[in-house]
Amino acid sequence: MALLERVGTLLRANLNDLVDKAEDPEKMLKQLVLDMENQLLQVKTQAAIAIADQHLLEKKKKEHDEAVDEWQRKAELAVQKQQDDLARAALHRSLSHKQMSEGFAQQLEDQKSEAETLRTAFGKLQQKLKEAESRCELLIAQHRRARVVGKANQARTMADASQNSVTMNRFRTRIMGQEAQNDAAQTMLDSDSLEDRFTLMEKEEQVDQLLQELKGRRAKSA
């Protein structure tokens, strides 16, 4: 996430080094605090969204789990009434809801990880902001009493050039990644038809097996 990359840059910032290299330390430190406050607000917002999405996924998974149980109950009732067609239909529904539940379960794990990452980033950035605020005035005063380090402008220009190079590399990497995703998506589309046929065949086998198990349990209890 670009947001977490920016937060990581702020967290890695060495205040003493920044003051030594800056032409105007007071302006630089005030801008740093402002950037931290802005990023802190964005992280807090994204964390709230991630937690809300997590709760929504938990709700969706629960709904499908309940549907699995309900259609399983209906399948058992259909077998009891010797209605095999209804039992098969109910088992199809039960399997579909089970697959959806498993899909939401995976999304839920990913969402929990993302929410935890954002919460951790928020706490660290909040601590870093307090540190920057408490040391800001002291560092400014120290710099005002210190002699200006030679070639400060040259050092800053070199740092900017290096950062621009990194940014361009990231941009090229992102484009290449998107192209790879597009190629993979096209390949998946080409193979969907055959995979769907095999998936349907496997699902029919599952339904047949479940139906036989229901009949077997019914016969034993009769």
Averaging pLDDT over each range in 31-40, 57-66, 194-203, which range is the top one?
57-66
Inform me whether the pLDDT recorded for 189 exceeds 50: no
Please count the CA atoms within 13 angstroms of the CA of 58 that sit on its side-chain side: 8
Contact 115, 47 (CB under 8 A): yes
The amino acid that residue 52 corresponds to is A
Amino acid of residue 125: L
Please, which pLDDT band fits residue 108 given cuts at 50, 70 and 90? very high
Do residues 78 and 86 touch, judged by C-beta distance below 8 A? Answer: yes
Q: C-alpha distances in angstroms, 144 versus 25, 140, 141?
A: 9, 6, 5
CA dihedral 36, 40, 46, 51 (to 10 degrees): 150
- CA distance between the termini of the chain: 60
Residue extents of the structural domains in the chain? 2-157
Mean pLDDT of 108-112: 92
| Percent of the chain whose pLDDT exceeds 90 | 27
Q: pTM value?
A: 0.55
Q: What angle do CA 26, 29, 32 make, to 5 degrees?
A: 150
Residue 83: DSSP 8-state: -
Q: Mean of the pLDDT values across residues 48-62?
A: 93
pLDDT in tens, 90-102: 999 999 999 999 9
Note the residue count of the chain: 222
